[in-house]
Structures are given as structure tokens and as C-alpha cells.
A and B are shown apart, each in its own frame.
Chain A
Amino acid sequence: MARRCLAVAVVAAAVTFAGCGGPMQPDELKRSIETLESSAAEGALLANGVARDRTKATFARVHARDLGETVDHEAEKLHDASAEGRVALRKAAAVDLAGRIAEALGQIQTAPDSTSEGRSAEATLTRLGDRAGRLAEGL
């Protein structure tokens, strides 16, 4: 009886984990890109506060750093995942997008009290957020 239960458990585990490690699916990629889009949009909101001198510099720096870490983590996940066909092309574009978003967030992190850097970062992050939205469409 105990051996039979163990065999059932092993088969169940094998069936459960059979799906893991395969190529990235469109819905998984879409969720990752939506995370990038959200981070870019939030970064733009944060940059707007810097541009208009309506935020605390320490908050802007720390929050920009946190957003940057989220974006970097997403970029790493995307880089490590395998993908095929159309998903692979969009995945590569998403990794590139993540790098650009992280760079723009880095502007805020470096100069959280500079209104000119804030304006520049806001414009860049807004544009990158829109690009992420278009990339996620149709997935």
C-alpha cells in the first residue's frame, strides 16, 4: 500500500513538473512585459514629481532604485527563458526595452533633485511605457 502511494505521488509529481522548463508561452511573456510597462509608467510618475520639484529627493532615489531592481529582475527572467518563433522575437525586444527602462530610472536615482533630469526621464519613460504596451498587444 505504501509503495503504491509512493508510485502515485511520483507520477503525479512528474506530470506536474512536465510543463516546467519548456519554452516561454505568450501569456507568460505578456505578464513580464506588463510588469515592465507598469514600472515604466510608475517611473514616469516619479520623474514627474522630480521635474516639478514636488517630491523628496531621498524618496525619489530609493523608489527609483526599487523600480530599477524590479525591471532588472524581469530582464534576467526574460533572458534566461527559452522561446520560439514570434515569442522569441518579442522576448528579445522586451529584454532590450527593460535595459532602456532601467537606464532611465537610473537617471532619477543618480540625480533625484534635478528638474531637468526629471523632465528627460519622464519623457523617456512615458515613451518606453507606450512601447511596452504595443509589444504586449496581440500576445
Chain B
Amino acid sequence: MRTLFSIALGVIAAIGGFVDIGDLVFNAQAGASVGYPALWALPVGVLGIMVFAEMSGRIVAVAKKPNFVLVKERYGPRLSTFTLVASLVLNVLTLGAELGGLGFVLDYFLDVSVSFFVLVAVIGVAAAIYFLPFGGLERVFGYLGLALFVYLAASIKLDPDWGEIGRGFVPESHGAAVYWYFVVGLIAAALMPYEIYFYSSGAVEEGWDERDMSVNRANAFVGFGIGGVIAASILIASTQVLKPEGISPESVGTAALVAQVPYGELGLVLALVGILFAVGGATVDTAFSAAYNLAQHQGWKWGKRFRLLDEPRFTLSLAGFLLAGFAIAQSGVDPIELTEYAVIFSIPVLPLTYLPILLVGNDAAVMGRFVNGPLARVLGWGYFGLICVLAVAAPVLFVWTNGGS
């Protein structure tokens, strides 16, 4: 029972990773454009993040090393610095998009101005980070983001063709480049670097040791599984509502409208509340991920488990990243487009993120009896190969299909 209630880290990492502002709209676009045939991509991506999250959590429990410390140890100074810079650029861009997204969602409730609510959002997130303990952040943003289960209810209420949905989970070959753009995007969205950096550093924050292996597995499999179910529900509900009408979603409001169709105002409000806390969770994920990576690369003291005022460099960098994200959001750039670019151009960096986890997970000298078993090795190297293919395919498909249009 304790294990089940302690999955908040996995939930916030999954909610913030799978249903951030860009993924919300991307899942809706996949449903509106391709429909059920894209569904099989989601469990492929979800299984990948489960494998690597469990592995990185196990590494933390045994070796007490989060992912970016592994990056620094396993790569030379140039490559680890390159990985750091790439991750920071992508994190800050994504952070800007998430804050912009929060501004839009709050404006749907109160209709003042998006710019004003971006300011409200950054103050709110900063206050939450300062006043709440790490576990509190996980529980508030993770569990309140579960209001997005309204999409699962909507999918069922809209009385879909379950046979077609089932067939959608079976991979099919399609010639259309747009189909493969969405398939690659859906798989890659589940494997975004900041999810794994946040998860592994979060495991250190939680103080996991060898007694927490079941907690790690619960977080990785149940937490990310929940994120996958929500992502699939958004795609299915969008297929039912948007595709028949020829609606191409370009904003988070369209995604929210999908929940309104079967459930009226209640569905709309639940969707907006879920989106608010999911995107808020993504904001927390990306801000912490950036600050963790910098601190771990530089060898600074870091973490919410200490008083923030006792670690000024970590705290200042966290504040700096939030401010940088705020500046990007206030520039008026479309947050959806910004995350699409951030996602597509983060994919070539994915192999650098995941390789150290695999190398250390397979290292019996470090992991002892908790070293990767045969299944983890096969899945780990299989997914690493897939990630390398995605690293090449994603930017090409993005350009070829003009961003999926």
C-alpha cells in the first residue's frame, strides 16, 4: 500500500513529460490527422521510458548517482559539456513554452491577458518551488494533473469503435510521410531527456536506497503507465471529435474543447484544471532538470532536500532558468510551435542522454547483484538502437512534412 501511494515521482515525471503543453496538442493533432493507426507508437515510447526510468532509479538506489553525474563520468569534458549545453538550451526553450501555456490556460478561466497570466504563472511556480517540499511538489502537480483522466472517460462516453482502436495498437506500414512524422514524434515525446534527468535526480531527493527497488519499479511502471494511458486517451478522444469535422488543433483550447463535447462545462473545466497542473508539473520538471544538470556537471551542492538558501548557486541557477523561460514566454512566441521545435531538435541528443544509464546499468562492478538482467539488457540496447534511428529520422521528417502539415 505504501508503495502504491509513493508513486508520485513517477506520476509527476510522466504527467510533466507526456502531457506538457506541446504533447497535449501533438497528441490531439495525431488523433485529428492520422487517427487510431498512430496508437501503437504510444506503448512503444512508454515501454522505453519505463525501461530507462527503472534502470536510472536502480542506479541511484545502488550507486547514489543521478543521470548527469553518469554523463560527466562516462564522457570526456567536451562531450559532457556539449550534452549539458544542449540539455540546457532545450530545457529553457521548453520552460518558456510551458510558462506560455500556463498563461493561456489561466486566461481561459479569467480572460484578462495571456502576458499577465504568464507573470502570475512564474510567480506561482516559484512560490510552489520555494515553499513546498519536494514530495509536496510531486503530489500537488502530479495528482491534480490526473484530472486529465476526463479524456479517458470522454473516449468511452463517445462510444468508439473498439475494434478499430484495438487495430490501432497493431503496427501497420503506411506510405504517408505525415503518418511517420506523428509516429516518430509520439515515440520520441515519451523519451524526452528532461523526464529522465528529473526522475533520477528526484530519486536522490527521495533518498532511495536498495530497500526501495519496489518503489522504483512502481514509480517507473505505474507512474509512466498512467501518463501513457492519458496520452492515448487524448489521441482517441481527438480522433472521435476532431477528425470527422476536419479540425486541425493548433492550440490547447482545441484539446480542452474535446472534453467539452461529451461532458459539457464539467468536462471542459476538468480538462483545463488537468492541463493547468500537468503543464505546471512540466514547468517544475524542466526548471529542476536544468538546475540539476548544471549543478551536477559543476559539482555544486544541489537539491530541494536541503534549504535552498544553503545552496546559493543551485538556487540562483533555478531562479535564472525560470526568468529565462519567463522572458521567452513574454516574447509572445507561440508555445505550441516552440515545444514542437524543442522536441524535434532534442531528439538527436537523446542517445547522449540514455547511453550512460545503459553502460552503468550493465556494469556489475558498480551495480553488484542489481546489475541489469538479460531482459533489461535486451530491452535497453534495443531501445538505444531505436533512439539512434529516431535521432536521424525526426528532423528529416519534420522538414519533409513541414511540421506535420
Q: Which residues of A contact B (CB under 8 A)?
A: 31, 34-35, 37-38, 41-42, 44-46, 49, 52, 54-56, 58-59, 61-63, 66, 70, 129, 133
Contact = CB atoms under 8 A, between A and B. Distances in A.
B260 A55 contact: yes
A46 B109 CA distance: 16
Interface in B231-248: 241, 245-248
B2 to A, nearest CB: 39
Given A46-B257, A61-B111, A63-B253, A55 B265 contact: yes
A133 B111 contact: no
Closest 5 CB pairs of A and B: A54-B264, A63-B253, A38-B248, A41-B245, A58-B111
Contacts of A37: 246
24 contacts: A31-B405, A34-B246, A38-B247, A42-B247, A42-B257, A44-B245, A45-B247, A45-B257, A49-B264, A52-B264, A54-B265, A56-B108, A56-B269, A58-B111, A59-B108, A59-B109, A59-B256, A61-B111, A62-B107, A62-B108, A62-B111, A62-B253, A63-B108, A70-B250
Contacts, number: 63
Contact of B261 (A45, A63, A129): A45
Contact of A59 (B246, B247, B248, B268): B268
B7 interface: no
B248 A34 contact: yes
Contacts of B268: 49, 55-56, 59
A45 B245 contact: yes
Interface of B: 107-111, 241, 245-248, 250-251, 253-254, 256-257, 260-261, 264-265, 268-269, 272, 405
Nearest to B250: A70
Nearest to B249: A42
A52 B268 CA distance: 14
Contact of A66 (B251, B265, B269, B272): B251
B399 to A, nearest CB: 14
Contacts of A58: 108-111
A59 B273 CA distance: 13
Given A34-B246, A34-B248, 10 more contacts: A35-B248, A41-B245, A42-B257, A49-B268, A54-B260, A55-B264, A56-B108, A58-B111, A62-B108, A63-B108
Contacts of B107: 62
Contacts of B245: 41-42, 44-45
B91 to A, nearest CB: 27
Contacts of A62: 107-108, 111, 253
A110 to B, nearest CB: 13
A59 B203 CA distance: 39
A45 B254 CA distance: 10
Interface centre among A52, A55, A70 (most CB of B within 10 A): A55
A59 B253 contact: yes
A34 B95 CA distance: 31
Nearest to B263: A54
A61 B113 CA distance: 12
Interface centre among B110, B260, B269, B272 (most CB of A within 10 A): B260
Contacts of B257: 42, 45-46, 49, 63
Nearest to B248: A38
A8 B405 CA distance: 32
Contacts of B405: 31
A62 B268 CA distance: 14
A58 B110 CA distance: 6
A70 B336 CA distance: 14
